[in-house]
Amino acid sequence: MITTPPSVPTDFCLRLARAHSLLIRRFDSALGNHHGLSFGDYQVLNHLARAPGGRLRRVDLAERLGLTASGVTRTLLPLEKIGLVTRETDPRDARVGFAAVTPSGEELLLNATVTADQVSAELLTAVDPTQLASMTDLLAQLAGVTPAPAP
């Protein structure tokens, strides 16, 4: 039996993974029950709706979601079938494919965001706003969204 506790960085990563699992379950449940969406679907629609023109190159969407190109294709197919997302091509380069949110997708996203905001508020009600801001910055740094601070 291992008696040595994990290092502080490993302990942080283990706790982050557990928190991630909890968050996904809570969001999947709420979004699925109220809107028929998974949290992954919500993330896709959110990224697309926030992008200029409501569309992203598929490779850029894959990067933002942390998926492979084939993973994003598998994720988009059901959303395309139900009319929340559409495919677009670049008229100047047929090799470039875009995913775009449809008006139906935007409407569903607006409604689902109310639910996501409620779930988020419930989950984080006991967290001090200053801690939340610091953790948000840390997670952005870990995700490569912001540059690391200078030493």
Q: Is residue 129 part of a domain?
A: no
Q: Is residue 97 part of a domain?
A: yes
- 26-47 pLDDT per residue, tens: 999 999 999 999 999 999 999 9
**Which domain, by its residues, includes 48?**
39-113
- Tell me what pLDDT residue 89 has: 85
Q: Is residue 92 part of a domain?
A: yes
Taking 70 as the pLDDT cut, the residues of the chain under it are 146-151
Total structural domains within the chain = 1
- 47-57 pLDDT per residue, tens: 999 999 999 99
Total-model pTM: 0.87
Q: Is residue 54 part of a domain?
A: yes
- Tell me what pLDDT residue 17 has: 95
**Residue 83 phi, psi dihedral angles, 5° rounding:** 85, 20
Q: Is residue 58 part of a domain?
A: yes
Q: Is residue 23 part of a domain?
A: no
| Closest among 16, 19, 34 to 123, alpha carbons compared | 19
